[in-house]
Amino acid sequence: MHGPQPILPLELREVVLALGGRRLIDGISCRFAAGLKTVIIGPNGAGKSLFLRLCHGLIRPTAGEIVWHGAAGRDPASAQAMVFQRPVMLRRSAVANIEYALSLQGLGRRLRRERVAEVLARTGLSEIADRPARVLSGGEQQKLALARAWALRPQVLFLDEPTSSLDPGASHAIEEIVRTLHAEGTRIIMTTHDLGQARRLADEVVFLHHGRIVEHAPAPAFFDGPASPLAAAFLRGELLWRE
Ligand SMILES: Nc1ncnc2c1ncn2[C@@H]1O[C@H](COP(=O)(O)OP(=O)(O)OP(=O)(O)O)[C@@H](O)[C@H]1O
Ligand SMILES: [Mg+2]
């Protein structure tokens, strides 16, 4: 169902991203095996979005290595998908946006139709399928972005603040979809500023600050008593982004 061979585990080895003389990602090493939902948290500017983009292969590290151990030399790109904070939609209908993503994967027309109908139904978007994607509301576009990613049946799904501009009902719907995807075997690696959402969804937490991993821990342990004073201050709402 998720492609011929698993691409996980994902390993980052001493990954650095330097731009304009600043080390925005400052020597990150970590490993993501199959199975969990990981939530990355940290203040604005910590490097969360850059971290996801590096993992997804959209930017190359300045130093260090990003290794998909299961891929064994094959291109791991087609087995992963990413949902961005501000979804990028083509100037065509919602349904055509999903179909286009599937056609890039070389899926035949019949299979494409099936997949599209399935994800539209499961995300509750069937009624707006024929509207131009760019006139959809922010929440509808975010759902559509998730539907498009879902249709690709990725082994790994990266989500960057998928509910940042959504009302509570829409956020709840997105969380349910994330849970379903995970239950069907997709590895989830996401960011959020909503600590309630982090508690609800995370199996493990990565706490980032100034481009470094300060803590990488099972979610219950992290939320009950983070090991680092920085994370404790962040959870209390006392960590300012300039610190
Ligand atoms: N292309 C770029 N060139 C220079 N600096 C950049 C670039 N992209 C990001 N940055 C800087 O890198 C730092 C980390 O950015 P990033 O977007 O990863 O933060 P974030 O943790 O996702 O923050 P937020 O919570 O606000 O989304 C920020 O200080 C940002 O200004
Ligand atoms: Mg971000």
Q: How many residues does the chain have?
A: 243
Mean of the per-residue pLDDT values of the chain = 94
- Mutate which of 23, 25, 48, 210 for ligand 1? The one with the most ligand atoms within 8 Å of its CB, which is 48
Distance 84 CA to ligand 1 centre (A): 14
Query: Structurally, how many domains does the chain consist of?
Result: 1
Mean pLDDT in residue range 62-70: 97
Residue 1 has pLDDT above 60, yes or no: no
Question: Which of 227, 190, 233, 217 shows the shortest CA–CA distance to 43?
Answer: 233
Is the pLDDT confidence value at 188 over 60?
yes
Average pLDDT, integer, range 38-47? 96
- pTM score > 0.75 for this model? yes
On whether residue 19 sits in a domain, the answer given is: yes
Domain interval for residue 172:
10-235
Residue identifier of the C-alpha nearest atom 26 of ligand 1: 44
The answer to whether position 5 is within a domain reads: no
Report percent pLDDT > 90 for the chain.
86
**Angle at Cα 164 formed by Cα 93 and Cα 212, nearest 5°?**
120
User: Residue 100 sits in a domain of what CATH number?
Assistant: 3.40.50.300
Structural domain includes residue 3: no
120 Cα: distance to centroid of ligand 1 (angstroms): 33
Is residue 226 situated within a structural domain? yes
For ligand 1, mutation pick of 50, 83, 85, 163 (most atoms within 8 Å of CB): 50
pLDDT tens-digit map of 4-21: 689 999 999 999 999 999
53 CA: nearest ligand 1 atom: 18
pLDDT in tens, 142-157: 999 999 999 999 999 9
Q: What is the DSSP letter of 126?
A: G
Does residue 4 lie in a domain region? no
Pocket of ligand 1 (CB under 6 A): 19-20, 24, 42, 44-50
Whether 85 is covered by a domain: the verdict is yes
With cut-offs at 50, 70 and 90, classify the pLDDT of residue 225. very high
Q: Is residue 93 part of a domain?
A: yes
Q: Which residues of 98-133 are buried (b: 16+ CB within 10 A; e: fewer)?
A: bbebbeeeebeeeebeebbeebbebbebeebbeeeb
Q: Would 25 be classed as within a structural domain?
A: yes
